Amino acid sequence: MAFVRSLLGAKKILSRSTAAGSAAPKGFLAVYVGESQKKRYLVPLSYLSQPSFQALLSKSEEEFGFAHPMGGLTIPCPEDTFINVTSRLQ
Amino acid sequence: TTSHTYSDSKGKQDGLLWYKDSAHHLFGDFSMAVVQANNLLEDQSQVESGPLTTLSSSGPYGTFVGVYDGHGGPETSRFVNDHLFHHLKRFAAEQDSMSVDVIRKAYEATEEGFLGVVAKQWAVKPHIAAVGSCCLIGVVCDGKLYVANVGDSRAVLGKVIKATGEVNALQLSAEHNVSIESVRQEMHSLHPDDSHIVVLKHNVWRVKGIIQVSRSIGDVYLKKSEFNKEPLYTKYRLREPMKRPILSWEPSITVHDLQPDDQFLIFASDGLWEQLSNQEAVEIVQNHPRNGIARRLVKAALQEAAKKREMRYSDLNKIERGVRRHFHDDITVVVLFLDTNLLSRASSLKTPSVSIRGGGITLPKKL
């Protein structure tokens, strides 16, 4: 599993991994980010209570409902939008 | 995070989970469990056992199960929970028996009652026109099982093969979700002049691109044109005027003569069935203790949901209502065991009546 730092140099770790289908480590969950090609990220559970992250999920719901064909949560926004939002989260 | 723990003879609340592990109905035990995912719980449910008539002296005795999976808000499923059973008892009293006709009339009266609510509230709360509910019921009475349904909840019978102890699932409810090809065909034949009656969007079939079920209680914005106009939100409004109702309240009803190998019934909202197959569910019931079996089915569904979302089950349980909806739907499960000895017994007037509603306390809406 590859862990890479956020492009914006934030302190927390956004991990990116290609091991789709496997359970995330305790306290993390997988999200699939991107418009056409989806990249798998592992994000901490604490993001789910952040309004800006919830807004990304709501946007996804407006377009796709609650169907997530990859299994994991799909966030169909541009990858840099996702990185921009998550880099501001503690 | 607020965690409500609440307990009484009617059931226990543990965070977003409500359960009643075991209680008696006229023909055996039953078990109920509900887990909330929506900000406001949209699933409602009830088990009623005793007289199935408003006249106390005579008439049919039996057990009634209702699972009502609301959408767009909790108003319709709550209304059904408050009114359908009473209508059923009223018509059963009139006809002095249980029948397909009694059930159909009870659905019709419930639909009409909710239409009255919408007409009254429309001016101040137009969104009420876009609230609806699936409605699944089962009635065990005189050795027969009646199952009626609108929407995509499901009743599954567990038939036990005596020689081997294995169990087979038999689905008793018809489903009205346009993900099923025959349901799409039915919609096309009912609306031959509308080639866009069902639309595939992002891999999901929807009626008029809006809703996945073809039958429901409520959703009057897709039944009466006077409720498909301003001030209703644009996203619910149709471009062309409605020539006839798009959705139907008419239930699919089956009657099943109960056999000794018919050992239990699972009634559940689609929140369970999107995680577990009919056969997986009946095997879980057959292979575990009866006490707490509905809760065990809910847990199995949540474990499956966690696996799909590539996370730990223990982490899924930490997610609050509202956001939780991105991980699974509200899930309601009622498991009704049928004891052959009790089924053949003449209706006993001595057994106290039972009335339990799933969901326990209502958590106020979070802003």
Question: Rounded distance, CA A46 to CA B319, Å?
Answer: 9
Out of A75-79, B55-59, B140-144, B239-243, pick the least confident.
B55-59
Residue B361 has pLDDT above 90, yes or no: no
Q: Does A23 touch chain B (CB under 8 A)?
A: yes
| Inter-chain touch B312–A20, beta carbons under 8 Å | no
Highest mean pLDDT among B133-142, B193-202, B336-345: B133-142
Nearest by CB to B311, from A24, A54, A67: name it.
A24
Query: Which ipTM value was assigned to this complex?
Result: 0.83
Q: What is the pLDDT at residue B54?
A: 87
pLDDT interval class at A2 (50, 70, 90) = very low
Average pLDDT over residues A48-74: 89
pLDDT band at residue A11 using 50, 70 and 90 as cut-offs? very low
CA A57 to the chain's CA centroid: 10
pLDDT digits (tens, 9 = 90+) for B240-271: 889 999 999 999 999 999 999 999 999 999 99
Please give, rounded to a whole number of angstroms, the shortest distance from the CA of A3 to a CA of chain B. 17
Contact predicate B177/B212, CB 8 Å: yes
State residue A22's pLDDT score: 67
Is A48 in CB contact (< 8 Å) with chain B?
yes
Q: Buried (b) or exposed (e) across B52-84, using 16+ Cβ within 10 A?
A: bbeeeeebbbbbbbbbbbbbbbbbbbbbbbebb
Cβ partners under 8 Å of residue B2, min gap 6 = none
Q: What is the C-alpha radius of gyration for chain A, rounded to an integer number of angstroms? A: 12
Q: What pTM does this model have? A: 0.92
What does the pLDDT look like over B216-242, one tens digit per residue?
A: 999 999 999 999 999 999 889 998 889
Q: Does residue B9 register a pLDDT over 70?
A: no
Residue of B nearest to A41 (CA): B310
Closest CB to B326: pick one of A26, A63, A73.
Answer: A73
Using pLDDT thresholds of 50, 70 and 90, give the confidence band for residue B359: confident
For chain A, first and last CA: distance in Å?
23
Q: Contact, B210 vs B197, CB < 8 A?
A: no
Min Cα separation A60/chain B (Å): 10
Are the beta carbons of B144 and B247 closer than 8 angstroms?
A: no
Kindly state the average pLDDT of the residues B329-346: 86
Q: Where do the H-state alpha helices sit in B191-319? A: 270-273, 278-286, 293-308, 313-316
- Quickly state the pLDDT bin for B347 (edges 50, 70, 90): low
Chain B partners within 8 Å of A22 (Cβ)? 310
Any chain B CB within 8 A of the CB of A44? no
Find, in chain A, the residue whose alpha carbon is nearest to that of B308: A71
- Average pLDDT of chain B? 92
Q: Where are the domains of chain A?
A: 47-89
Kindly state the percentage of chain A with pLDDT values over 70. Answer: 74
pLDDT at B39: 93
CB contact (8 A) between residue B204 and residue A65: yes
User: If you write DSSP's letter for every residue of A2-62 in order, what string do you get?
Assistant: -EEE-TT--SSEEEE---TTSPPPTTEEEEEE-SSS-EEEEEEGGGGG-HHHHHHHHHHHH
Beta bridge partners of B146: B139, B255
pLDDT of residue B161 exceeding 80, the answer is yes
What pLDDT was estimated at residue B271?
97
Of A21, A28, A63, the CB nearest to B202: A63
Rounded alpha-carbon distances, angstroms, from residue A76 to A7, A46, A58, B131: 19, 20, 11, 28
Region B276-302: mean pLDDT is 98
Question: How far apart, in whole angstroms, are the C-alpha atoms of residue B266 and residue B253?
Answer: 17
**B207, B190 contact by CB (below 8 A):** no
Instruction: Determine the pLDDT at residue B295.
Output: 98
- The confidence band for A36, taking pLDDT boundaries of 50, 70 and 90, is confident
